[in-house]
Structure formats: C-alpha cells, structure tokens
Amino acid sequence: MKISRTLTLGSLAIAMILGGSVAPSAHAADALQLYAALDYSTDVATAFTAKTGIPVNVTALSTGPLLAKITAEKNNPQWGAYWADGAEPCAAFDLDKQLLHYKPKGAHLNAIGQKLAPKSGAYQVPGFTEMVGVVYNSSKVRKPTSWDDLASADFKNQVGMNNPSVSGPTYPFIAGLMEQLGSEAAMKTYLLKLKDNGLRAFDKNSKTLAALNTGVINVGLVQSSAAITEVVNYKAKPVAGLTPAVTYLAKTTVLPSCLAIDGKASAFQQDAAKKFADFVMTSEAVKIMIKSNTGDSLFWPTLLGNNPAAATTTMPSFTSGLIQVVDPYKYAPLQGAVQDWFTKNIA
C-alpha cells in the first residue's frame, strides 16, 4: 500500500451499501483494528462490515512501516488483525508468542494452500504471489535466463530491486536466495556480485517500476503482481521506448498473503478478528479481492474452487519446477540482521 491512511468502515459503510442513512461508529474500541498492507483490504473490510455489522478501522501502510508500527506498539498493541504479503513477519510474531492461533470455519484449501498454511493456525493464507517476477524492457535488453545471468556484462547497470527494509515482499525473495544458494553467506556474495555489476536499490515496487519506465534501469526484480501490472498498464497505454515483458527464474519463491490475529488484544478484538478471518477465507471474500482491480488483485487463491484473475496466467505453476516454498520459521529470525546488512552494503 502506497498511502498511509486510517479508514473507519462501520455503520456508515453499511448505509452506503444498503442505500440508507446511518451515523458512523464513533468509538475505535468498538471496531476491529486491522493493520493492512494490501490494496484490496478496505474493499474486503467494507463487505465484512456489511455482512456482520462489525465496524473495521483499516490502518493502511507499506509492509515495512506497518511492521515498524507494530514493533513500536509491542508493549501496548493497537491492532487486532494484521494482513500483508510475506509469512516471515507472522512467523516472527508467532515465535515471540504474540499470535492467537485460529482455524477459520469452513475453509477448504487447495494443495498449494495446504503447503503454505501453518498447521498450528498461527496465520491464514487466502492467496499467494511470487517473488520475484523479473520484468524487463525487451526493447533494450534480452530476456534474462538465470540469476547468474543478471550478473553478466549484458546486464551491467541494468538491474534494480526493492529494499527489504521498506518492501515487505522483498525479504522473502532474499530468504529464497538463501534457501536456493545454501547459506546466508552465499546470498550475500551473490547480491554483492549484482551490486558490483551496477544493481540499483529502490524503496518498493512502485519506485523500481518508475525507474524502469524512465530508463534508469531495464530490468526490475519485483513482486509478480507488480510485474504483471506493468505489462497490463503498457498494453492499455504504451510508452515510447518501453516494451515490458515478464519472466521467472528458477527458483522463484512463493509469497503468501498472511492474516494473523493479535494474541494480546482485547476479547472484543480477538472475537472480531476471528470473524474477519472466517470471512477472508471464503470464496465471497476472494472474489472481492480479485475484483478490487488493484495490483494486489493479481494473486493465486488458495481456496478450493477459486481461480485467479486472467492476467495471472503469466505466472509459472508449481508443476513447472521453477517454484520453491521456504520455511518462514527458519528465516524469520534472520530478517532484521539481513535487512540491516542490505541497507549498509547494497542500498
């Protein structure tokens, strides 16, 4: 989410949906406090309120600032539910005994969902994207074929990526590099190799894509949904000198969308968050996420019987051999130190 905002979705939202005239809820304590970094969260929250009568306050930030806010509030948590891409933060919360374990009623996961959702119920996974989608300007550079290829002379001063300290989806990508290359040291060696080849680091997807659009770079390592959106936008409004295309390199890391409940929240917050989790893990909610028509809508659902938006068919399948799932509980404890290293040595 690019803009910081807090929205109250209560009886006013119900009135707007139903065509009535009702005064909005006045007390934040009477509303579910949802901390979210997904563009469709407000649409889902509005539908949830209309269905249940439970108001929702949505605090919408990019994942990095949102996690910083949660950390600052650790001794006095202000959230009831957290919803963002990337399982490592939720795994870190769980390891710190911060989460309420819960299994939504009636949620039936497909095979991929069963791989991504923790059996403990520490957090819910309604969908996933992939990290990274390699979006490149095919008018200026050839199609990259491997991670090592990105460090070759053909791509010198051509590649950009996000800073994991700001961009929540980027640390799972780095965790995926550690998994694939075998160690933290090997990951650092690789990123330093890219840096020596002219790698540029930007805050998040939008900044990296802006650099691609203006010719500062010709290859962007971004979230698959952002990469696909770049191509969709180009088809709708072509830009001279830019012909974006998307490819995936082995191994591409799965990036789950994760919803967690604060285990230290009030009884009201926890009860409301459980009901919200029940709603999120339904086909009704998934359809709202997909129809929200935002970049985040380009994801793969984990619920049985649900298909992604048509544009996401450009993403590789699990049967392609290009995909890997990493254990977030293995890499969550390393996140802070790795992000500090990245900021000092790459960004």
* DSSP symbols for 214-281: TTS-SEEEEEHHHHHHHHHHHHHS-BTTB-EEEE--SSEEEEEEEEEEBTTS-HHHHHHHHHHHHHHT
Phi, psi (rounded to 5 degrees) for 201: -115, 130
- Taking only the tens place, the pLDDT of each residue in 248-269 is 999 999 999 999 999 999 999 9
Instruction: State the pTM of this model.
Output: 0.89
Q: 45 and 93, same structural domain?
A: yes
For residue 73, the SS3 value is coil
| Residue 84, H or E segment | strand 81-85
Q: 55 and 161, same structural domain?
A: no
Q: Which carries the bigger pLDDT value, residue 283 or residue 318?
A: 283
- Residue 247 CA to residue 269 CA, distance in Å, equals 42
Q: 332 and 230, same structural domain?
A: yes
Q: 305 and 328, same structural domain?
A: no
- Residue 84 CA to residue 54 CA, distance in Å, equals 21
Q: 340 and 191, same structural domain?
A: yes
For residue 32, the SS3 value is strand
The pLDDT, as a whole number, for residue 22 is 27
Q: 139 and 11, same structural domain?
A: no
- Residue 11 CA to residue 84 CA, distance in Å, equals 25
- Taking only the tens place, the pLDDT of each residue in 103-116 is 998 899 998 899 99
Mean pLDDT score, 6-22: 36
> Is the distance from CB of 4 to CB of 58 less than 8 angstroms?
no
DSSP code, position 312: G
The pLDDT, as a whole number, for residue 28 is 58
Residue 18 pLDDT grade (very low, low, confident, very high; cuts 50, 70, 90): very low
For residue 19, pLDDT beyond 80:
no
Residue 319 pLDDT grade (very low, low, confident, very high; cuts 50, 70, 90): confident
- 52: which residues sit within 8 A by CB, 6+ positions away? 275, 279
Region for 295 from its dihedrals, namely left if φ exceeds 0, alpha if ψ lies in -120 to 50, beta otherwise: alpha
What would you report as the CA-atom Rg of the chain, rounded to the nearest whole angstrom?
A: 20
7-21, 111-125, 317-331, range with greatest mean pLDDT: 111-125
- How many folded domains does the chain comprise? 2
Residue among 2, 1, 301, 334 at smallest CA distance from 171: 334
Residue among 264, 253, 227, 205 at smallest CA distance from 64: 205
Tell me the residue range of the domain where 153 lies: 129-253+321-345
The pLDDT, as a whole number, for residue 141 is 98
Least confident span in 11-15, 238-242, 259-263: 11-15
For residue 35, pLDDT beyond 50:
yes
The pLDDT, as a whole number, for residue 189 is 98
DSSP code, position 93: H
Q: 293 and 236, same structural domain?
A: no
Instruction: CATH number of the domain at 280, please.
Output: 3.40.190.10
- Residue 151 CA to residue 190 CA, distance in Å, equals 9
Mean pLDDT score, 138-142: 98
- 183: which residues sit within 8 A by CB, 6+ positions away? none
Q: 248 and 144, same structural domain?
A: yes
Query: How high is the mean pLDDT of the chain?
Result: 90
- Taking only the tens place, the pLDDT of each residue in 174-205 is 999 999 999 999 999 999 999 999 999 999 99
For the beta carbon of residue 196, count every other beta carbon within 10 angstroms.
10
